Amino acid sequence: MAKVKSKWICQECGYETAGYLGKCPECGSWGSLVEEVQYNEKMPNAAANEFVNTEKPELLKDIQIGEEVRVSTNISEFDRILGGGFVQGSLILLAGDPGIGKSTITLQTCGRLCDSGKKILYVSAEESASQLRLRAERLNINSDNLYIYPQTSMDNIKSQIEEIQPDFVIIDSIQAIYSNNVASSAGSVSQIRECTNILMHIAKSKNITTIVIGHVTKDGNIAGPKVLEHMVDTVIYFEGDKYKSYRMLRSMKNRFGNTSEVGIFEMCTDGLHEVTNPNELFLNERSRVAAPGSAIIVTNEGTRPLMVEIQALVGTTSYAAPRRVTNGVDLSRLHQILAVLEKRVGLNFSKQDVYVNVMGGIEVDEPSADLGIALAVATCARDVVVDPQTVIIGEIGLSGEIHPVNNIEKRLNEAAAAGFKKAIIPYANNVPKDFDKLLIIKVKRLVDAIVSCVSAN
């Protein structure tokens, strides 16, 4: 009988302790420690030990640089965030809310990869083979190279990988897979860590590109541990509003490329379609009539500027403490902008509720959105409109000054291409003298930007 040992492991961050604690000392979550039993003979790192390491240390200058083989997904939005396709033998984590479309995008990618002659093993731990077949028919995927394997045991998966020798392995999802090396149930930190470890060794030793699908918890983390993010080469989030049709692939970590890129898709009845001109999509939602509290900003997501509408609503509060609610913008950013508007412009929000919403369900975390947010709030408070043909770009400092932003020319070109006529930009940003596609208004301070909007009314 194997000697059993138990540990309490935080399901949020992976912190381990010998006894129960109500609060995790590492990440501060309450009630997240779960007892996990482990056999002493085969500890969680058993996976690593199974692979005999024959490598020896080498001098840096002697190391040969192998050619990085990339496999295109034939979906340009996906290739863009990967940095030009999957790197062979890499381990990719695709994370997102349940129901957002992870299985759909993966199956569609499999279809394209099979068309270019790749052999794929799709491990479906959540759906039956016939469910997947139905979905594949809906997506019009019909391939001789795609193996569907409804399985949850890591040992069986490993032996099938050895038998089939695929170019790609898909694990849908990691939370449903278990390994016999660890006694705890599937989805626990130890299981996720162990199974990912095994997959990583298979990927690296056999040069098999592995895509691991993971669900995200309601507070936005990949269910189970953050440890998963450290183990893999690339972390891709699939996000979007479940109640709207478009979705965004965003790379959060990429050992082989840029991390600021986004790929945009639209969910249709026959699967996900690429959106090559996202500005049409986000601006389509904009009401044609100019309204107080609306401003268009130009964010720079990766290599592509995106035009997004910011809406604000300011009204007398009926609460003891006025409400500040944001959707798509960081709340502390709004607090800071309100503080600057109060101190440097003289507006007063102490008895006002302020709501800020980024249209289209997208997240804006770039500081260049500050000025747009401030103008949306200020114009709503003063009941004036920002000219709907104007885009607003600029970061706000605490003394009310407007800081320059990067890639200004690219942003302006994109705004001009989308039919805008005017741009309010930071004074310190240089624009070529012969740039005549837009009327440029340069502002040094927040108050100047507000004055130029008000005077235009």
Site residues (vs Mg ion, CB under 5 A):
103
Residue 104 binds what, of Mg ion, ligand TYD, none (CB under 5 to 8 Å, by partner type)? ligand TYD
C-alpha–C-alpha distance, residues 181 and 168, integer Å? 24
> Could you tell me the CA-to-CA distances from 350 to 153, 316, 340, 342, 354 in Å, in that order?
58, 9, 13, 9, 10
Q: Smaller CB distance to Mg ion: residue 103 or 294?
A: 103
Q: Smaller CB distance to Mg ion: residue 103 or 390?
A: 103
C-alpha–C-alpha distance, residues 71 and 113, integer Å? 8
Residues within window 250-309 making contact with ligand TYD, judged by CB under 6 A: 267, 269-271
Q: Which stretch binds ligand TYD (CB under 6 A): 58-66, 92-100, 275-283, 294-302?
A: 92-100
**Minimum distance, C-beta of residue 245 to Mg ion, in the bound complex (Å):** 18
Cβ-based neighbour number of residue 414 at 10 Å: 19
**Minimum distance, C-beta of residue 123 to Mg ion, in the bound complex (Å):** 12
Q: Is 104 in the site for ligand TYD (CB under 6 A)?
A: yes
Residues within window 370-429 making contact with ligand TYD, judged by CB under 6 A: none
**Minimum distance, C-beta of residue 104 to ligand TYD, in the bound complex (Å):** 3
Residue 44 binds what, of ligand TYD, Mg ion, none (CB under 5 to 8 Å, by partner type)? none
Q: Is 96 in the site for ligand TYD (CB under 6 A)?
A: yes
C-alpha–C-alpha distance, residues 269 and 118, integer Å? 26
What is the tally of helices (H) and strands (E) in the chain?
Answer: 12, 23
Cβ-based neighbour number of residue 233 at 10 Å: 20
Q: Smaller CB distance to ligand TYD: residue 213 or 424?
A: 213
Residue position matching structure tokens 């200058």: 61
Residue 90 binds what, of ligand TYD, Mg ion, none (CB under 5 to 8 Å, by partner type)? none
Q: Smaller CB distance to ligand TYD: residue 270 or 285?
A: 270
Nearest to 260 by CA among 236, 232, 296: 236
Q: Smaller CB distance to ligand TYD: residue 269 or 284?
A: 269
Contact 271, 139 (CB under 8 A): yes
Q: Smaller CB distance to ligand TYD: residue 104 or 191?
A: 104
Beta-strand runs (E) in 56-139: 70-71, 86-87, 91-96, 120-124
**Minimum distance, C-beta of residue 134 to ligand TYD, in the bound complex (Å):** 9
Taking CB atoms within 8 Å and a gap of at least 24, the contacts of 275-283 are 275/77, 275/246, 276/76, 276/77, 278/304, 278/306, 279/306, 279/307, 279/414, 279/417, 279/418, 280/418, 281/246, 281/360, 282/306, 282/307, 282/308, 282/309, 282/359, 282/360, 282/362, 283/307, 283/309, 283/418
Among 24, 82, 95, 100, binds ligand TYD (CB under 6 A): 100
Residues within window 119-138 making contact with ligand TYD, judged by CB under 6 A: 135, 138
For 267, the token pair is 């969910």
H-run or E-run covering 149: strand 146-149
Q: Smaller CB distance to ligand TYD: residue 81 or 381?
A: 81
**Minimum distance, C-beta of residue 171 to ligand TYD, in the bound complex (Å):** 12
Q: Is 101 in the site for ligand TYD (CB under 6 A)?
A: yes
**Minimum distance, C-beta of residue 269 to ligand TYD, in the bound complex (Å):** 5
Q: Smaller CB distance to ligand TYD: residue 54 or 269?
A: 269
For 93, the token pair is 């984590």
**Minimum distance, C-beta of residue 267 to ligand TYD, in the bound complex (Å):** 5
**Minimum distance, C-beta of residue 151 to ligand TYD, in the bound complex (Å):** 17
Catalog residues that contact ligand TYD under the rule CB under 6 A: 96, 98-104, 135, 138-139, 267, 269-271
